[in-house]
């Protein structure tokens, strides 16, 4: 699927005029997304889609301080609440960060990354930003393919932030599927 080079705008806050009131807390809550979902469903699961070396998108590479074409460790998952996918998450970790500091990335399996990230006081989270992803963005298509045959709306709101440990970065992006709004507020 060819997507035009597109530079979506990542905002510090979701615009009131275009983001559902009930979606805003999901885009802005700085605590663990896993914990927030778990508190609103019966059974929670992580479906690991991909975990391998990959070339980040240009904006992701810039955030991670990587040169264009430089590979990083990629982890893509679906967060599942009561059997229904509610979030498509994509995390990127520069290769140099895997040794020591970020070994957690490889030991996680189907355990949620957040369980490790929010358990270590040495890990800090930078500010969240959010963007509306549509068919112009390759990540929209990754999420769409991940949830098929469940239909994807023309646009999904996503958020992302950098986690840092001993000066090394991990980029976590989370796209919210419409089903997130079926969870209690
Ligand atoms: C960062 C968190 O971890 C969640 C779990 C992820 C995973 O297991 O790959 C990725 C992103 C998050 O949605 C969190 O819970 O806030």
Domain count, the chain: 1
Give the residue, out of 37, 38, 41, 79, with the most ligand 1 atoms within 8 A of its beta carbon, to mutate for a pocket test.
Answer: 79
DSSP H/E element including 131: strand 129-133
What is the C-alpha to C-alpha distance for residues 124 and 119, in angstroms, rounded to an integer?
Answer: 11
Question: 6 in a domain, yes or no?
Answer: no
The helix/strand/coil state of 104 is: helix
Q: Which of 70-84, 97-111, 129-143, 149-163 has the lowest mean pLDDT?
A: 97-111
Question: 19 in a domain, yes or no?
Answer: no
Q: What is this structure's pTM?
A: 0.93
pLDDT of res. 102: 57
| 79 Cβ inside 6 Å of ligand 1 | yes
ipTM comes to: 0.96
CB 51 within 8 Å of CB 57: no
What's the domain range around 136?
Answer: 24-182
Question: 85 in a domain, yes or no?
Answer: yes
pLDDT of res. 37: 98
Residue 7 confidence class, pLDDT cut points 50, 70, 90: low
- The annotated binding site for substrate is made up of 75, 113, 174
Atom of ligand 1 nearest to the CA of 108: 8
Spatial neighbors of 120 by CB under 8 A, at least 6 apart, are 165
Question: 76 in a domain, yes or no?
Answer: yes
The per-residue pLDDT for range 51-75, each reduced to its tens digit, is: 999 999 999 999 999 998 999 999 9
What is the C-alpha to C-alpha distance for residues 146 and 47, in angstroms, rounded to an integer?
Answer: 10
Provide φ and ψ at 91, rounded to 5°: -120, 140
Angle at 46 between CA 95 and CA 159, to 5 degrees: 65
What is the C-alpha to C-alpha distance for residues 37 and 39, in angstroms, rounded to an integer?
Answer: 5
Q: Domain of 42: which CATH number?
A: 3.40.1410.10
DSSP H/E element including 38: helix 33-38
The helix/strand/coil state of 35 is: helix
Q: Of 133, 174, 178, give the one whose Cα is nearest residue 29.
A: 174
Question: 158 in a domain, yes or no?
Answer: yes
């Amino acid at each position: 699927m060819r997507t035009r080079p597109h530079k979506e705008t990542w905002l510090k806050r979701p615009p009131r005029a275009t983001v559902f009131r009930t979606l805003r807390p999901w885009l802005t809550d700085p605590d663990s997304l896993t914990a927030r979902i778990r508190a609103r469903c019966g059974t929670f699961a992580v479906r690991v889609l991909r975990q391998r070396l990959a070339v980040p998108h240009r904006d992701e590479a810039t955030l991670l301080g990587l040169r264009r074409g430089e590979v990083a460790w990629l982890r893509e998952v679906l967060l599942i609440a009561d059997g229904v996918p509610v979030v498509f998450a994509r995390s990127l970790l520069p290769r140099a960060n895997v040794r020591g500091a970020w070994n957690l990335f490889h030991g996680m399996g189907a355990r949620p990354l957040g369980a490790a990230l929010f358990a270590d006081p040495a890990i800090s989270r930078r500010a969240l930003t959010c963007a509306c992803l549509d068919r112009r963005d390759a990540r929209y298509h990754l999420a769409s393919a991940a949830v098929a045959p469940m239909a994807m709306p023309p646009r999904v709101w996503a958020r992302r932030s950098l986690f840092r440990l001993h000066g090394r970065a991990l980029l976590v992006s989370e796209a919210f599927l419409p089903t997130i709004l079926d969870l209690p507020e």
